[in-house]
């Protein structure tokens, strides 16, 4: 294990000069921190920045968001994908207004009961919204810590959690977590830029990267994420296309029209499975006279 105090000092000094200018870092409002964390789930930072500003401009608080219609919230989520997150955020806002007087609770045990808020988001909110001494581990941080400690076999989750905890400075853990994120996003990339890394002299992997050439140096030791499944043509792809069609046509479509517009090559039963899934998730409403009659049932945003 490398010496921790010099690493903490160097990385925090680097972060003070090189940190990314992100709008959710300039606010202390837990509501806005939550919006950012939900948006950042499985979505690149560059895509989130403008949408975050637009969203919190329209819905500046839990109270305003809770009063909005589900359809408007989904409309405002356009371009981010994974539209179920908009539904989760809307449900959370309603619950916080009803049960917590419009104030996001800081208790992790309560936070983890909200739909769409998993262990990572709980940790991020604890650190970034409430200043708790909590380690946050995303893909970038996992890669940095794996390389820094010279780990060749990927850490098990509990092992990684222990390592992340061991590096936490006393106080200022929000800046520390974000500094690790920024280092992984700008320097400790899948193909690392060791020559400009503030932690190069402390990194157990840097020497190996220098000694090895080509692909070997860029792959070991380092965390590599599992390959992504094919998106185009997947169920998630067509879920997104259905919601986008309904955003553009708020008065709705018949199932027949929606099928022809979005997924004409699919068998009807498969298409209806996708529609039913979206309906169960609260992302659309199906108004039907009898069953899912493809010519008569109308589909709209909620």
Separation between Cα atoms, residue 255 and residue 194, nearest integer Å: 55
For the chain, give the longest Cα–Cα distance. Answer: 70
The angle subtended at Cα 271 by Cα 267 and Cα 276, nearest 5°, is 145
Distances (CA, A) of 186 to 14, 92, 97, 212, 264: 12, 33, 38, 22, 42
Q: How many CA atoms lie within 13 A of 196 on its CB side?
A: 10
The strands making up 253-254's β-sheet, listed across from edge to edge, are 253-254, 298-300, 285-287
Separation between Cα atoms, residue 112 and residue 298, nearest integer Å: 36
The residue from 37, 101, 244, 279 that is catalytic is 37
Separation between Cα atoms, residue 82 and residue 41, nearest integer Å: 9
Our measurement of the distance from residue 11's CA atom to the centroid of its chain's CA atoms, rounded to an integer in Å, reads 24
Q: 37 catalytic, yes or no? A: yes
Active site residues: 37
């Amino acid at each position: 294990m490398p010496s921790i105090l010099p690493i903490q000092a160097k990385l925090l000094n680097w972060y003070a000069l090189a940190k990314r200018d992100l709008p959710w870092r300039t606010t202390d409002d837990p509501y806005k921190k939550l919006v950012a964390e939900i948006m950042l789930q499985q979505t690149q930072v560059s895509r989130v920045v403008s949408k975050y500003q637009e969203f919190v401009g329209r819905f500046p608080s839990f109270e305003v968001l809770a009063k909005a219609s589900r359809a408007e919230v989904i409309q405002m989520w356009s371009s981010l994908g994974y539209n179920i997150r908009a539904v989760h955020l809307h449900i959370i806002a309603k619950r916080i207004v009803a049960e917590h007087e419009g104030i996001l609770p800081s208790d992790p045990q309560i936070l983890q009961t909200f739909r769409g808020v998993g262990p990572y988001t709980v940790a991020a909110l604890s650190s970034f919204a409430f200043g708790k001494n909590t380690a946050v581990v995303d893909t970038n941080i996992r890669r940095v810590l794996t390389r820094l400690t010279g780990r060749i076999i990927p850490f098990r989750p509990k092992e990684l959690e222990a390592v992340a905890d061991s590096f936490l400075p006393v106080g200022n853990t929000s800046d520390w977590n974000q500094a690790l994120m920024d280092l992984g996003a700008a320097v400790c990339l899948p193909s690392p830029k060791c020559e400009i890394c503030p932690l190069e002299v402390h990194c157990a992997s840097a020497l190996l990267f220098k000694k090895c050439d080509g692909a070997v140096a860029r792959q070991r030791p380092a965390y590599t994420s599992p390959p992504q499944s094919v998106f185009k043509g997947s169920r998630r792809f067509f879920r997104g296309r259905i919601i986008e069609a309904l955003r553009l046509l708020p008065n709705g479509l018949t199932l027949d029209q929606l099928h022809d517009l979005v997924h004409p090559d699919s068998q009807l039963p498969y298409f209806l499975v996708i529609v039913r899934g979206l309906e169960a998730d609260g992302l659309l409403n199906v108004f039907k006279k009898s069953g899912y009659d493809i010519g008569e049932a109308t589909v709209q945003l909620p």
